[in-house]
Amino acid sequence: MIKNRLWLIPFCVFGLELSIHAQDMAHVDTEPVPLHLIEAASSQREIIISGLDSLKTLSYYDPLYTAEDSLIFNRMRKIQRTIPLAINEKIKSYIDKYISRNYNPYMSKLQGLAQYYFPIYEKIFSENQLPDEIKYISVIESSLDPHLVSRSGAVGLWQFMYPTAKIYDLTMDSYLDERKDPYAACHAASRYFRDAYDEFNDWLLALASYNCGRGCVRRAIQRSGLQNPDFWQLSPYLPRETQDYIPKFIAMTYALKHADEYGISVAPTDLAWDGKPIMVERPVNLEQIAQAVNLPLETIKKFNPAYKRSIINASTENPKRLILPDTDNLNDSLLYAALNNQLEVSASMLANVDDASSINKHPSGKGRRLVAASKATSKRSVTYTTYTVRKGDTLSHIAARFKGATVSQIRADNNLSNTRLKIGQKLKIKKS
């Protein structure tokens, strides 16, 4: 019925304008049109015009009974891009869950993690000419936790099973599990979704197959006897979990797209900086990298979750990706030394000696300044500054704000037995 009436919308707009004009003319010699009527007409016109940005309707929707139903319907229609969205009782029940007060901390955490992971996904999907809405599948699969392991043994941000991961060329050995690598795993997922869409010619079925497998969807189509069904037609023939999978995806897409309207904030995370991926062609020690960027080793590991050890076993024949947090304290000279395993002193030691600089040639031919530690250290008086802990702060974030500061030094200077902090707590930070 709604589809059949879409053609009326332009005429409704035109008719509304004529009505307003007629009202204006009728009151030229009498009394002015009441302001509230003008505002109401203008508001109604804006609503209709905004609806014309797309005449698309949703792929499936139950009757709309309440004003909230209509609001969700119109919002859903406006955020719909390539992948067809829908609204029904099951989807609404998941929306209600995701925007509830109980779920708010979880959703805020997702919003925080999305600030780091979504730009990575969007770039990869764009390169592979895939709709970027697929990024919300990773939220449903793993809650954006690269270390998540399911009961069935699926691993990582995109929850690849071992056999499927091998098919899509992900490396898994004693040093590395690329199912946890946000770049490698997303590239593999992109290939899967392209293959699935080419087979089923329906985006929701392609996404559903990511949950139950393409063979499962094929068998469901055979049982249904339908020719080229869409997801909603085939849903009764799919496993219960898969029937719920797409409604969860649509509800999560809606909730995170409208996070501000539902009071879902961006929670702070340890991935507070942009990730800068570089390819390395020789073994690299992550402890030295941590010194070079003046962050704890644990933070470096969070940016590089695929590595099982503190050593990246790269070579010219088998280069590996290293993701560097792009902080203000990133020192190119120290980084070059770390990448070449020449950093044998701690960053805190380097901060307290006279700098002797020498120009060393980088393999690219560009000159790099390497800091060499002098044998004689100059004594200097120790001074401190005071920092007040704010909401979302961690010791690693605080250390990153102050040149030469480290988590261990802050803990020692403040007699902290653990890393827990309280809002308003005063910390003394040694000035370098």
- Here the CATH number for the domain that contains residue 107 is 1.10.530.10
Question: Looking at per-residue confidence, does 427 or 256 come out higher?
Answer: 256
299 within some domain: yes
Report the pLDDT value the prediction gives residue 45, as an integer from 0 to 100.
57
Residues 181, 117: contact at Cβ < 8 Å?
no
Same domain, 325 and 357: yes
Same domain, 216 and 137: yes
91 within some domain: no
Q: Which of 4-13, 380-389, 394-403 has the lowest mean pLDDT?
A: 4-13
* Interval 167-179 mean pLDDT: 97
Same domain, 251 and 169: yes
Residue 332 to residues 15, 37, 272, 315, 337, Cα–Cα distance (Å)? 65, 64, 20, 22, 9
Q: How confident is the model at residue 352 (pLDDT cuts 50, 70, 90)?
A: very low
Retrieve residue 241's tokens: 């979990």
313 within some domain: yes
Among 262, 290, 321, identify where a domain stops: 262
pLDDT digits (tens, 9 = 90+) for 248-307: 999 999 999 999 999 999 999 999 899 999 999 999 999 999 988 889 999 999 999 999
Residues 404, 348: contact at Cβ < 8 Å?
yes
Report the pLDDT value the prediction gives residue 7, as an integer from 0 to 100.
38
Pick from 254, 208, 260: nearest CA to 229:
208
- Is the pLDDT at 37 greater than 70? The verdict is no
Residue 127 to residues 19, 33, 132, Cα–Cα distance (Å)? 49, 55, 10
Distance CA 161, CA 155 (A): 7
Same domain, 290 and 226: no
Among 262, 286, 320, identify where a domain stops: 262
- Here the CATH number for the domain that contains residue 398 is 3.10.350.10
Distance CA 90, CA 250 (A): 10
Same domain, 49 and 118: no
Residues 262, 87: contact at Cβ < 8 Å?
no
Give the chain's domain count. 4
pLDDT digits (tens, 9 = 90+) for 190-235: 999 999 999 999 999 999 999 999 999 999 999 999 999 999 999 9
92 within some domain: no
269 within some domain: no
Report the pLDDT value the prediction gives residue 139, as an integer from 0 to 100.
98
Domain limits for position 53? 2-84
Distance CA 35, CA 40 (A): 9
pLDDT digits (tens, 9 = 90+) for 118-156: 999 999 999 999 999 999 999 999 999 999 999 999 999
Report the pLDDT value the prediction gives residue 23, as an integer from 0 to 100.
44
Strands 384-388 and 426-430, how do they pair? antiparallel
Same domain, 8 and 147: no
Same domain, 123 and 18: no
> How far, rounded to the nearest angstrom, does the alpha carbon of residue 273 sit from its chain's CA centroid?
13
To the nearest 10°, report the CA torsion of 15, 17, 23, 24: -160
Same domain, 195 and 293: no
Distance CA 350, CA 377 (A): 10
Residues 165, 178: contact at Cβ < 8 Å?
yes
Same domain, 368 and 388: no
For 128, the enclosing helix (H) or strand (E) is: none
282 within some domain: yes
Same domain, 287 and 415: no
For 99, the enclosing helix (H) or strand (E) is: none
Report the pLDDT value the prediction gives residue 43, as an integer from 0 to 100.
60
Same domain, 41 and 176: no
90 within some domain: no
Entry pTM: 0.70
Same domain, 293 and 252: no
89 within some domain: no
CA atoms within 13 A on the CB side of 158: 30
Q: Which of 29-33, 55-59, 293-297 has the highest mean pLDDT?
A: 293-297
Report the pLDDT value the prediction gives residue 40, as an integer from 0 to 100.
66
Among 262, 290, 318, identify where a domain stops: 262
Report the pLDDT value the prediction gives residue 381, as an integer from 0 to 100.
58
**Residue 353: what are its φ and ψ, rounded to 5°?**
-130, 165
Distance CA 410, CA 428 (A): 7
